[in-house]
Amino acid sequence: MAHPSQLGFQDAASPVMEELLHFHDHALMIVFLISTLVLYIIVAMVSTKLTNMYILDSQEIEIIWTILPAIILILIALPSLRILYLMDEVTNPHLTVKAIGHQWYWSYEYTDYQEIAFDSYMVPTQDLAPGQFRLLEVDHRMVVPTEAPVRVLVTAEDVLHSWAVPALGVKMDAVPGRLNQTAFIASRPGIFYGQCSEICGANHSFMPIVVEAVPLNFFQDWSTLMLEDA
């Protein structure tokens, strides 16, 4: 998860987030190169008193500074489009979870299991156990198996919400009367935190999301326990 004074992204916990991090580094290097070139040109033009008649009116330079930005945009657009299509791809999910946004909590329904459904409320500050994070911990976590495609159906019951978990590279709007879907693969076990990312009212800051990724055998034990408690 994020920590104070962190400048970069959180560590990737899914293949899509790894692709997003690589694309961020790729685009950032292009921005650095452009900024360095522009800064050099500005300094050179301000500091020198010489002028070159061939630069003032040159067909070749105009061709270069027209074609070069087009090439740079292509180098940015092609990887971006590839990741956009990867993020929209939902093929043969092993598990489907329905996330429903309310004011101001989330509820989850495991549609592959008829009896598994629960609400997820933020744990109040006074009830936090040692080591738990304020404004991020919930009383019931969304548990998923690692290394398995998970589809999340996202909707809302009252106003607009947004189900977002940065480490998994997932962010999907929850719209009343509409069913959106997204997917992810948790590549390692862990606890991943997120928050509602759409301003939804007075307690918008108090409806966190916690996804706990566990190995398949632990997930089977958890689902069995939930069915027994239902």
Q: Which of 214, 186, 189, 184 is nearest to 91 (CA)?
A: 184
CATH class belonging to 93-227: mainly beta
Judge residue 200's burial from the number of C-beta atoms within 10 Å of its C-beta, 0-12 exposed, 13-18 middle, 19 or more buried: buried
Question: Two tokens at 2?
Answer: 């994020």
Name the percent of the chain in helix, strand, coil, to the closest 5.
40, 25, 35
**Confidence category of residue 97, pLDDT binned at 50, 70, 90:** very high
CATH class belonging to 13-86: mainly alpha
What pLDDT, in 10s, does the model give residues 56-95? 677 888 888 899 999 999 999 999 999 999 998 888 999 9
Return residue ranges of the chain for CATH 2.60.40.420.
93-227
What pLDDT, in 10s, does the model give residues 99-113? 999 999 999 999 888
Q: Please report the sign of the dihedral spanned by the C-alpha atoms of residue 222, residue 144, residue 190, residue 131.
A: negative
What pLDDT, in 10s, does the model give residues 180-229? 999 999 999 999 999 999 999 899 999 999 999 999 999 999 999 988 87
Return residue ranges of the chain for CATH 1.10.287.90.
13-86
pTM of the model: 0.86
Q: Which of 222, 192, 208, 191 is nearest to 120 (CA)?
A: 208
Q: Residue 106 in contact with residue 193, Cβ under 8 Å?
A: no
Amino acid 230: pLDDT: 63
